[in-house]
Chains A and B, each alone.
Chain A
Amino acid sequence: MNDVPISHILFVSTALFFIGMYGLFTRRNMITMLMAIELILNSVNINFVVFNKYLYPEKLDGIFFTIFIITIAAAEAAVAIAIIINLYRSHRSIDVEKASEMKW
């Protein structure tokens, strides 16, 4: 356990974060953008758990933040998918470029 330095775990989470950023930049489909956001939130969760475990093991705050982030990610995904399905009903497309007006 201790022969992997903290920085290596942080490199993994950083790489995951930037993979998610890449997806968010290049994708124009709303569902895939949502997936990119999930990847980003996951990388943040890894960071919280690792900092809590290695640097402040006498506290539990990182674990709490992780739990709250997972909860909010679930709520956010549900609302986002409801919006996407509603948008699909009115526009027949979930491409962000095509949803240019905010009328409906």
Chain B
Amino acid sequence: MESVSWYLGSFKMSASAIIFYIISAFILGAGMLAMMTRKIFRSAIWLLFSLIGVAALYFWLQVEFIAAVQIIVYVGGIVVLIIFSIFLTQQSGNEMPKQPLKRTIASVLSVLFGFGLTFLQIWKYDFQPSTKNFDWSVSKIGSQMLGTKAGGYALPFEVVSMLLLAAMIGCIVIAMKTPGPSTNGKAKNRDLETIREGSETEITINEITGT
């Protein structure tokens, strides 16, 4: 009884700790639901909540810039993109097929062992928090991001900008429809495929009408 009340007392020590535990429970609960529900659209929505929870964790850590970037890029960009692609590729009401039990058990076990190992490592390690004040500001980030002296991130910045350009062009090329008969090989294969599919559907239609 004593120890329980002591634990409760230490948990209630500050409001910020309580807020942290609420946020982390939210993140983990939403993430777990996102990975376990069998309806893909619900999965996307739970992922959205989990990412919002991570943004809240950044707000709690008082790195508001990263929190804002997280909300803009992840919540406003990536999740919307994922929901678009869900609507383009499947019927959102359908449930995904159940996985074989063996695979589920194996993955649960491996995940638990991995978590246990990492947990022990973190638990045993003695972190020495620095007492200095964490001083970030957007102007500091900006001047270091484009700095060419020691500690500057000008080169990675340029490389990432090239990568974004390459990704954009790559997306357009991949998602573009190949123009019909002028391209050889590919188009022929696709025509064969459609012919095969067509004959299959014809056969099924004949079967249906025959019976």
Contacts and interface: CB of A to CB of B under 8 A. Distances in A.
Contacts of B16: 1, 3-4
B35 A77 contact: no
B153 A64 contact: yes
A103 B5 CA distance: 65
A72 B88 contact: no
A85 interface: yes
A71 to B, nearest CB: 5
Contacts of B70: 45, 70
Contacts, number: 220
B51 A29 contact: no
B179 to A, nearest CB: 14
A12 interface: yes
Nearest to A76: B167
B105 to A, nearest CB: 10
A61 B86 CA distance: 36
Interface of A: 1-12, 14-23, 25-29, 31-32, 34-36, 38-39, 42, 45-46, 49-50, 52-60, 63-64, 66-68, 70-79, 81-86, 88, 90, 94, 103-104
